[in-house]
């Protein structure tokens, strides 16, 4: 082994040089220094308390930007026992890749400062402080200094920002630090080129040695290998793997006695041999401005061009370029320079607009309430990017939590989109305009409401996002369900020329955070990516954008087509390049007919040729009679060969890896399920009325969860709301505005005449009241529309519902396990009330129940309405409650009926909360390995993290009892931050999954030494966010056995939306993992917590009474 001890000459060479990393550190001799222990610093405010960080403190810089720039420095004195190489690791704010922290430089002793931008993240302590391998450094025996410098503001401007928690130095050996192709962008070669590489060492070789290399293909077969000498004092060595066939490769190098180091390479069709169509369905979300270092832009752009995609998607931060009204500075975002770097490529750009500036929106809101701000931004940015950005997607996933506030509705977004579309047209660039990408499961009332607002008269493109998680035990990876449902929702509103674009189609790999994908995982990505792209197009998608080109590590797993540390291609990139070359223009024709079970085939047209895409669940030989003599067969990574048909036809080996068979002319094809040809959007010209945009606003008191449930209006008093009417014409306009309610609502003075100045706004107020015929709890359309110049404006339609407790209904389980509605009738009068009958309809079923008894004034009585014979599925229901004397109330709602086998039982059983598990023998429990999904970056099996959870209940409490196996219990956090350490998160909702838009979320943790427990409410309905003192929490950590016990009693009074008497609820839980390097992931039972907040994804639970 070549040890890290270096000759004097080498020491002199490296004493002032900072070398690239990362490398694998040896285990012994780590030198750790706390961030607050700086020998000298100009950071202000300086030492700052933070219980979540090492030593409970960090050294913080938070200072205003100065002109000229100020050097803010922090110097650390370190003593090392011997001269040699050390791995420098830092826990700090990110030195690159985010807009909220400043880049920083590092110098060793009296050497020159070097950027830390290439630091590699390998853990995360808090939202702001991450762990990084910075680089390999050479240190002399004895005293040394390490100095950090910040002299650039954070990209979002305004301040110098850096938090420094700790740094460590670990002695390491000489080894390969990187393997880079000599003349291929990001190790992407064009076919025919020699695959020449340079292996850079982490230091100069102290003596002569050798480096061996091995090149393996996609199937892990060795295709090249050799050995090259490494002279003494060399810092790098080259090697030549020869001319490789088109395909995907791993390249492994190893110095004598050192650990092997592997990287990836791709060989693709040469640019001058690829026939690029003017347009195709193949596209990629590339995140160049967001995720890619500027020094890699040129290579990344070239790699994108070689991938053969027609469109790419990127992002533009509205907040950054438009910091104040009428102020625009495109130098504040990287997007401007990035799209310029794309010049010379053949890709077209879809720009995604993100995050409106704070000045354009009210506090606590995400959408601008100043439509003229959206108009002006679109007009200015459209002009600025004219010819460089061909389409704009205005905002992102606004139907999902986080991108809009709970009080913001689809009609408000629709108004913003309309204003922006008019602005883009007035920019003179006239790009295509896309609605924001919709996310989540359907049915989704938010999406339907957006479309009901006539947005497709303004947007050229309808847009949706569909992702999936990789599971090695479930192969092939199933496709998301969603393309057809999204297109079905659009169909009634489509003017006939609206294509559907899937602008985020990703496969996340849980458990890969901080490490490269394995060869098998890369094969899983390549297979899924091709098969899902083909399937999506077959279902009607016009443009399919793979998510994500750039590496994106979320801390619990990664997305992307390039490896995060080396920026070399995964097999998914190679498969994308192979697919675009094989399918050309990608004109979908139909399915291959008469295939065996387990084999899938689709036919595409490319000029006069037909191209079949084929794959199968398992390997098999397939015979295809295409009435063709010969063709070209291409494998999943692009290698092609000529094939000849026998008398029976072509014999093709198919399996999980898709293959392509190209022949001249037509082939037999089943077109019965083929979507209609993709429409070409008509060029839009906005008339006078089109340029008048309406948007509704309601008082905060009725807007609490309007995004999900509509505005909740009282039935005993009118509600005054505001209607903003914008005129984006250059002349004054006069016309009428009409309000049209439904379902028993009334608008006072519903028709108004209004004059709006040129490029101006008028606000009108209307009163909305419930009549005696209002349908209770139904989300009813409230529409305003104008007439200007003899033409109608687009509609502004929102949803309103009743905020009342006079008549309500809840889903309940009957004692025999059947489904029922529990009807609650309150008497709001000062006399006795006599309900006599309820007639019900639910899906295809109907019935009637006699109601007996008297309800005294001010009291409430409940009635059970059994719904016998109602099949599994989501059903709308209506209850008509008749009272003595003929009065009637109508209640509307939705109920989810499930197969009882899918429901999890929680037994009625009380426990003593004392940190010692009760005897729970025979009670239903959850095995967190067998019954849940492991989503942990470096999970090493049950001894690493596993456990059993038993949930029980009684009339007073919901109980949790858990015994968890965890080799390292790390929970330094308190309050709202315990989710970052070891512990539970769980969410619950009333009813069965999908029935309620309200839910609660809690964090359960044992803090300190593992004995003090806390329950923190992250979200509640009618109860405050924060610690829950009424909950009983206890636990115990046993380090000897590596087990942790959790016990919880949560009073039902703390969960007012869930009633145990109903016998059901929805719940999901996850167990977080932190082994000391930050949150490494989680194990999740159910869903709707870890990757999205959605009660529709929770598990259905039956509260099983004691026998």
What's the pLDDT at 28?
A: 55
pLDDT in tens, 80-117: 999 989 999 999 999 987 889 999 999 999 999 999 99
> Do 378 and 510 belong together in one domain?
yes
In-domain check, residue 766: yes
pLDDT in tens, 782-811: 999 999 999 999 999 999 999 998 999 999
Contact assessment for residue 865 and residue 823, using Cβ atoms and an 8 Å cutoff: yes
Return d(Cα 441, Cα 334) in angstroms, integer. 33
Return d(Cα 976, Cα 53) in angstroms, integer. 15
Cβ partners under 8 Å of residue 582, min gap 6: 611, 613, 634, 638, 660, 662
In-domain check, residue 669: no
pLDDT in tens, 41-63: 999 999 999 988 888 899 999 99
**In sequence order, what DSSP letters do the residues of 1037-1093 get, joined into one string?**
EETTTTEEEEEEEEEGGG-TT--GGG-EEEEEEEEEEESSSBEEEEEEESSSSSS--
Helices 297-307, 571-583: axis angle to 10 degrees equals 40
In 125-175 the beta strands, taken as DSSP E runs, fall at 130-139, 142-150, 159-171
Closest Cα partner for 795 from 444, 1023, 453? 453
In-domain check, residue 304: yes
Contact assessment for residue 447 and residue 482, using Cβ atoms and an 8 Å cutoff: no
Contact assessment for residue 972 and residue 1079, using Cβ atoms and an 8 Å cutoff: no
What's the pLDDT at 985?
A: 96
Strand order in the sheet with 835-842: 775-776, 888-897, 873-883, 835-842, 845-850
Is the confidence at residue 1035, as pLDDT, over 80? yes
> Do 511 and 383 belong together in one domain?
yes
Q: What is the 3-state secondary structure (H, E, C) of 260-281?
A: CEEEEEEEECCHHHCCCCCCCC
Return d(Cα 19, Cα 203) in angstroms, integer. 7
Q: Where are the alpha helices (DSSP H) in 149-296?
A: 288-291
> Do 386 and 317 belong together in one domain?
yes
Closest Cα partner for 774 from 715, 827, 702, 701? 715
- Cα-Cα end-to-end distance for the chain: 70
Across 991-1010, average pLDDT? 87
Contact assessment for residue 324 and residue 367, using Cβ atoms and an 8 Å cutoff: no
Across 497-522, average pLDDT? 92
Strands 130-139 and 84-92: antiparallel
Closest Cα partner for 248 from 551, 523, 550, 618? 523
What is the domain range of residue 754? 689-802
**What are the beta bridge partners of residue 74?**
41, 148
Q: Helix, strand, or coil here: 961?
A: strand
Return d(Cα 684, Cα 456) in angstroms, integer. 11
Residue 117 in tokens: 């931008």
Contact assessment for residue 486 and residue 437, using Cβ atoms and an 8 Å cutoff: no
Q: How confident is the model at residue 1009 (pLDDT cuts 50, 70, 90)?
A: low
> Do 905 and 880 belong together in one domain?
no
pLDDT in tens, 81-91: 999 899 999 99
In-domain check, residue 676: no
> Do 254 and 303 belong together in one domain?
no
- State the DSSP code for 426: H
In-domain check, residue 2: no
What's the pLDDT at 66?
A: 84
Q: Helix, strand, or coil here: 773?
A: coil
Burial letters 392-419, b for 16+ CB under 10 A, else e: bbbbbbbbbbebbbbbbbbbbbbbbbbb
> Do 824 and 871 belong together in one domain?
yes
In-domain check, residue 184: yes
What's the pLDDT at 842?
A: 93
Provide, rounded to the nearest whole percent, the portion of the chain with pLDDT above 70.
Answer: 97
> Do 33 and 157 belong together in one domain?
yes
Residue 219 in tokens: 């199937």
Q: Residue 397: left (phi > 0), alpha (psi -120 to 50), or beta? A: left
Helical (H) or strand (E) element with 307: helix 297-307
Contact assessment for residue 551 and residue 248, using Cβ atoms and an 8 Å cutoff: no
**What are the beta bridge partners of residue 769?**
746
Burial label, 1079 (beta-carbon count in 10 A; 0-12, 13-18, 19+): buried
Q: Helix, strand, or coil here: 44?
A: coil
Q: How confident is the model at residue 515 (pLDDT cuts 50, 70, 90)?
A: confident
What's the pLDDT at 815?
A: 85
pLDDT in tens, 709-762: 899 999 999 999 999 999 999 999 999 999 999 999 999 999 999 999 999 999
Q: C-alpha distances in angstroms, 938 versus 902, 944, 959, 1077?
A: 31, 9, 31, 11
What's the pLDDT at 440?
A: 80
- Residue where a domain stops, chosen among 786, 802, 818: 802
Across 439-445, average pLDDT? 80
- Residue where a domain stops, chosen among 134, 151, 171: 171
Q: Helix, strand, or coil here: 898?
A: coil
What's the pLDDT at 71?
A: 93
Average pLDDT, the chain: 92
In-domain check, residue 677: no
Return d(Cα 125, Cα 91) in angstroms, integer. 8
> Do 757 and 745 belong together in one domain?
yes
Q: How confident is the model at residue 1011 (pLDDT cuts 50, 70, 90)?
A: low
> Do 641 and 697 belong together in one domain?
no
pLDDT in tens, 485-496: 999 999 999 988
Is the confidence at residue 419, as pLDDT, over 70? yes
pLDDT in tens, 576-603: 999 999 999 999 999 999 999 999 999 9
Q: In this structure, how many other beta carbons lie within 10 angstroms of the beta carbon of residue 1005?
A: 28
> Do 893 and 905 belong together in one domain?
no
- State the DSSP code for 371: H
Strands 282-285 and 543-547: parallel
Across 957-961, average pLDDT? 97
The label of the residue with tokens 């899902």 reads: 532
Return d(Cα 796, Cα 794) in angstroms, integer. 7
> Do 264 and 285 belong together in one domain?
no
Return d(Cα 85, Cα 926) in angstroms, integer. 48
Return d(Cα 420, Cα 324) in angstroms, integer. 17
Q: How confident is the model at residue 359 (pLDDT cuts 50, 70, 90)?
A: very high
- Residue where a domain stops, chosen among 778, 802, 826: 802
Closest Cα partner for 505 from 470, 465, 561, 462? 465
Instruction: Indicate the number of domains in the chain.
Output: 7
Integer Rg of the chain from CA: 32
> Do 493 and 512 belong together in one domain?
yes
Return d(Cα 770, Cα 280) in angstroms, integer. 52
Strand order in the sheet with 40-41: 40-41, 72-80, 142-150, 105-108, 114-115
Q: Helix, strand, or coil here: 132?
A: strand
In-domain check, residue 701: yes
Contact assessment for residue 576 and residue 308, using Cβ atoms and an 8 Å cutoff: yes
Contact assessment for residue 609 and residue 663, using Cβ atoms and an 8 Å cutoff: yes
What's the pLDDT at 974?
A: 87
């Amino acid at each position: 082994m070549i040890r890290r001890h270096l000759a004097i000459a080498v020491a002199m060479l490296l004493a002032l040089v900072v070398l690239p990393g990362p490398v694998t550190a040896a285990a012994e001799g780590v030198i750790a220094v706390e961030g607050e222990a700086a020998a000298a610093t100009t950071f202000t405010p300086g030492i700052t308390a933070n219980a979540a960080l090492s030593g409970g403190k960090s050294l913080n810089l938070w200072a205003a930007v100065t002109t000229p720039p100020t050097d803010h420095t922090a110097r650390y004195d370190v003593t090392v026992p011997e001269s040699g190489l050390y791995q420098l690791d830092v826990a700090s704010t990110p030195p690159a890749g985010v807009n909220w922290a400043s880049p920083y430089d590092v110098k060793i002793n009296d050497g020159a400062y070097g950027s830390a931008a290439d630091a590699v993240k390998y853990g995360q302590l808090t939202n702001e402080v991450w762990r990084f391998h910075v680089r390999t450094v050479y240190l002399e025996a004895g005293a040394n200094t390490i100095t950090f410098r910040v002299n650039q503001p954070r990209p979002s401007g305004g301040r110098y920002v850096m938090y420094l928690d700790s740094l460590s130095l670990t002695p390491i050996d000489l080894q390969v630090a990187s393997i880079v192709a000599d003349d291929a962008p990001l190790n992407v070669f064009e076919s025919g080129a020699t695959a020449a590489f340079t292996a850079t060492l982490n230091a100069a070789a102290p003596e002569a040695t050798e480096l061996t290399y091995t090149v393996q293909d996609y199937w892990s077969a060795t295709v090249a290998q050799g050995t090259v000498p490494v002279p003494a004092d060399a810092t790098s060595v080259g090697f030549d793997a020869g001319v490789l066939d088109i395909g995907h490769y791993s390249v492994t190098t190893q110095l004598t006695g050192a650990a092997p180091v592997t990287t990836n390479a791709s060989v693709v069709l040469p640019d001058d041999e690829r026939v690029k169509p003017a347009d195709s369905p193949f596209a990629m979300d590339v995140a160049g401005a967001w995720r890619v270092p500027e020094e890699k832009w040129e290579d990344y752009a070239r790699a994108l061009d070689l991938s053969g995609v027609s469109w790419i998607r990127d992002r533009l931060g509205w907040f950054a370029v438009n910091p104040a009204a009428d102020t625009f500075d495109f130098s504040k975002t990287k997007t401007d320079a990035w799209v310029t770097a794309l010049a010379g490529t053949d890709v077209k750009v879809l720009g995604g607009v993100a995050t409106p500036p704070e000045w354009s929106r009210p506090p606590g809101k995400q959408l601008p309430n100043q439509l003229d701000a959206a108009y002006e931004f679109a007009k200015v940015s459209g002009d600025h990017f004219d010819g460089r950005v061909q389409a704009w997607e205005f905002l992102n996933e606004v139907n999902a939590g986080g991108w809009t506030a709970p009080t913001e509705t689809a009609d408000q977004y629709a108004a913003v989109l309309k204003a922006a579309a008019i602005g883009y047209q007035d920019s003179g660039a006239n790009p295509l305009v896309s609605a924001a990408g919709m996310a989540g499961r359907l049915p989704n009332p938010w999406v339907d409401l957006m479309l009901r607002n006539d947005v497709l008269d303004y947007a050229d493109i309808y847009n949706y996002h569909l992702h999936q998680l990789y599971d090695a035990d479930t192969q092939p990876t199933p496709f998301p369900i969603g393309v057809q449902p999204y297109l079905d929702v659009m169909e009634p509103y489509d003017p006939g020329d609206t294509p559907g674009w899937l602008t985020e189609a990703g496969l996340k790999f849980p458990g890969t955070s901080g490490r490269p994908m394995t060869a098998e995982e890369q094969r899983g990505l390549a297979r899924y990516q091709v098969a899902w792209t083909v399937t999506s197009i077959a279902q009607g998608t016009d443009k399919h954008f793979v998510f994500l080109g750039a590496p994106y590590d979320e801390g619990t797993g990664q997305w992307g087509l390039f490896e995060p540390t080396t920026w070399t291609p995964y097999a998914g990139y190679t498969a994308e390049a192979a697919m675009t070359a094989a399918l050309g223009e990608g004109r979908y024709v139909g399915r291959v007919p008469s295939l065996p079970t387990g084999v899938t085939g689709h036919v595409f047209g490319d000029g006069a040729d037909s191209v079949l895409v084929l794959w199968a669940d398992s390997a098999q030989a397939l015979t295809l009679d295409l009435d063709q003599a010969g063709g070209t067969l291409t494998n999943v990574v692009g290698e092609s060969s000529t094939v000849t048909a026998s008398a029976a036809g072509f014999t093709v080996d198919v399996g999980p890896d898709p293959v392509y068979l190209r022949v001249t002319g037509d082939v037999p094809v089943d077109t019965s399920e083929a979507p209609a040809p993709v429409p070409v959007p008509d060029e839009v010209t906005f008339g006078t009325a089109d340029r008048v945009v309406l948007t509704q606003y309601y008082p905060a008191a009725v807007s609490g969860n309007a995004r999900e449930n509509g505005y909740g209006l009282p039935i005993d008093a009118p509600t005054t709301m505001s209607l903003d009417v914008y005129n984006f014409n250059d002349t004054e306009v006069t016309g009428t505005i009409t309000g049209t309610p439904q379902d028993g609502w009334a608008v006072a003075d519903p028709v108004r005449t209004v004059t709006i100045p040129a490029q101006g706004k008028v606000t009108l107020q209307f009163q909305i009241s419930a009549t005696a015929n209002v349908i209770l709890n139904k989300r009813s359309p409230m529409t305003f529309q104008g007439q200007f110049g003899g033409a109608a404006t687009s509609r502004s339609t929102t949803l309103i519902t009743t905020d009342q407790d006079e008549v309500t209904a809840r889903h309940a389980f009957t004692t025999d396990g059947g489904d029922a509605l529990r009807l609650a009738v309150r008497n709001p009068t000062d006399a006795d009330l006599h309900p006599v009958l309820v007639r019900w309809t639910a899906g295809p079923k109907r019935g009637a129940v006699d109601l007996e008894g008297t309800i005294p004034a001010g009291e409430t009585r409940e009635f059970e309405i059994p719904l016998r014979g109602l099949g599994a599925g989501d059903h709308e229901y209506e209850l008509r409650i008749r009272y003595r004397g003929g009065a009637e109330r109508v209640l509307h709602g939705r109920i989810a009926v499930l197969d009882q086998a899918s429901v999890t039982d929680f037994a009625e059983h009380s426990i003593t909360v004392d940190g010692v598990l009760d005897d729970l023998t025979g009670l239903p429990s959850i095995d967190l390995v067998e019954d849940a999904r492991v989503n942990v970056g470096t999970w090493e099996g049950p001894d690493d993290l596993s456990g059993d959870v038993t949930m029980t209940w009684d009339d007073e409490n919901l109980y949790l009892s858990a015994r968890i196996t965890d080799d390292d219990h790390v929970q330094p956090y308190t309050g709202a931050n315990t989710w970052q350490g070891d512990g539970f998160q769980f969410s619950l909702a009333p009813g069965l999954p999908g029935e309620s838009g309200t839910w609660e979320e809690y964090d359960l943790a044992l803090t300190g030494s593992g004995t003090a427990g806390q329950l923190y409410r992250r979200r509640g309905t009618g109860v405050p966010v924060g610690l829950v003192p009424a909950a009983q929490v206890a636990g115990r950590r046993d380090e000897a056995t590596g087990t942790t016990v959790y016990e919880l009693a949560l009073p039902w009074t703390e969960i007012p939306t869930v009633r145990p008497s109903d016998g059901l609820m929805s719940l999901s839980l996850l167990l977080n993992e932190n082994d000391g390097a930050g949150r490494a992931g989680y194990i999740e039972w159910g869903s709707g917590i870890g990757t999205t907040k959605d009660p529709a994804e929770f598990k259905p639970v039956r509260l099983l009474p004691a026998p």
